[in-house]
């Protein structure tokens, strides 16, 4: 097993049943991962999880699925313990979990804010904490944030605001886990062609975002295609160890660092 390869590695993907997480799971299996464990939250995602497990196994890797609400520290602890017990180790851990809300600040309720904070902020903190406990020495960790962290835009205060702390957690974890050779990075995609995006946008806003980026005309939909995010993350968990502590923003066809 070479250092800069997915061959023989064990991978845990939070939010790995479908969309970007599911695509990563099958890609890693295709690239030679030994085992991939995917997490999903809702009962409605169970069928997607089973489909992803089938595809992982078709590429010769072991596949496991775990359902959990990761907004409590205890649930996160159990996910990592169960995944490690199933696979024997966790060499790579990726967190794609998130929730988006597009609303003016004056309309965001306390309950909505608390939910956004639990899903985007709290779960990311405890994900990284468990990575520090369970990820193998010289392992790799990557979390998903948002390109809105580099934007100046209205209506996403609770979303971008609860994702922003993850940048700091990434830097802190990189420093604290670095003595064990663990690389910790984050990727911030632009608007992606997934239900995550469409559920919050009006048709007018969708049309705008599909033409907003300089290279929108070069993607399939004008948005960020999820298959174009996969190589970034694959690079960060194989070759990109020297980028530890950094957030890579990928926005609709152009990249800034």
* Confidence category of residue 218, pLDDT binned at 50, 70, 90: confident
- Residue 1, C-beta contacts closer than 8 angstroms, at least 6 positions apart: 7, 8, 9
pLDDT at 123: 98
What's the whole-number mean pLDDT along residues 158-183?
96
Q: Is the pTM of this model over 0.75?
A: yes
pLDDT tens per residue, range 45-63: 999 999 999 999 999 999 9
Domains of the chain from N-terminus onward: 10-249 (3.40.50.720)
pLDDT at 152: 81
In sign, the C-alpha dihedral spanning 42, 46, 47, 53 is positive
b (16+ CB within 10 A) / e for 190-212? bbbbbebbeebeeeebbeebbee
């Amino acid at each position: 097993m070479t250092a800069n390869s997915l061959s023989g590695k064990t991978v845990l993907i939070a939010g790995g049943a479908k969309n970007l997480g599911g695509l990563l799971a099958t890609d890693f299996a295709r690239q030679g991962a030994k085992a991939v464990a995917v997490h999903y939250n809702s009962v409605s995602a169970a069928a997607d999880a089973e489909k992803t497990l089938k595809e992982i196994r078709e590429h010769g890797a072991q596949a496991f699925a775990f359902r959990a609400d990761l907004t409590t520290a205890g649930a996160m602890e159990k996910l990592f313990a169960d995944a490690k017990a199933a696979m024997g180790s966790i060499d790579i851990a990726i967190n794609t979990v998130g929730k988006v809300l597009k609303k003016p600040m004056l309309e965001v309720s306390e309950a909505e804010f608390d939910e956004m904070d639990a899903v985007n902020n709290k779960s990311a903190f405890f994900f990284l904490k468990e990575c520090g406990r369970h990820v193998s020495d010289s392992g790799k960790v990557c979390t998903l944030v948002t390109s809105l962290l580099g934007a100046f835009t209205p209506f996403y205060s609770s979303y971008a605001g609860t994702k922003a702390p993850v940048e700091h957690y990434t830097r802190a974890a990189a420093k604290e886990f670095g003595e064990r050779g663990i690389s910790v990075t984050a990727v911030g995609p632009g608007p992606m062609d997934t239900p995550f995006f469409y559920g919050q946008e009006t048709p007018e806003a969708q049309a705008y975002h599909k033409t907003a980026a300089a290279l929108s005309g070069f993607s399939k939909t004008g948005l960020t295609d999820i298959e174009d995010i996969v190589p970034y993350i694959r690079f960060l968990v194989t070759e990109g160890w020297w980028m530890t502590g950094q957030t890579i923003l990928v926005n609709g066809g152009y990249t800034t660092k």
